[in-house]
Structure formats: C-alpha cells, structure tokens
Amino acid sequence: MFPFVIIAVGLMALAWAERSWALAIIAASCVALALLESLYDMGNIAYRLGWSPPTAVVPLLNVLPSGLFLLVAGMGAFLWQLRRRTAA
C-alpha cells in the first residue's frame, strides 16, 4: 500500500505550493490513513468488529479506505468549486 503514501506526500507538496489550508488538512488526513494502511493489516479491524470477510475481500480492505477518502475529498472539492462559480 506504499503507493498511497506517495500520493499523500504529493498532495502535501501540492498543498504547500498552493498555500491551501483545506488541501493541507485533506493531505494530512490522507497521509495518516495511508500510513495506517501501509503499516497495519486492516483485515484485523474487520475481525475485531466481528466481521469475517471472504478471503478474496481481505486485500481490498487495505485499499478501500484511502480510495473512498480520495473519492469523497475530490467530490467535495468539485462541489465546493461548482458552488463558488455559480454564486459569483
């Protein structure tokens, strides 16, 4: 899951270049989530919550949180920009 750490560091660099606090917060959250996924087996959390996922799904548990986070953050940024453009 190390590619997500590279993406997160790239987002941090973009936040610094753009001087954007909102992007810096999103990037810091992405870094924390990427490090968690890279250093910890997310399947253990599922087992501790009492869910026994199929063997084919367990590797997806390490990718799903970062993927969903990036999708939601991107959609939120898109909607924010859309709202700002229509208001102006």
Q: Give the residue numbers spanning the domain of 62.
A: 2-87
Determine the average pLDDT of the residues in 20-32.
92
Determine the average pLDDT of the residues in 67-72.
93
pTM (whole model) above 0.95: no
Q: Higher-confidence residue: 59 or 27?
A: 27
Name the domain count of the chain: 1
Rounded to whole angstroms, how far apart are CA atoms 13 and 27?
Answer: 9
Residues near 69 by beta carbon (within 8 Å), at least 6 away in sequence = 29, 30, 33
Within 10 angstroms of residue 30's Cβ, the number of other Cβ atoms is: 23
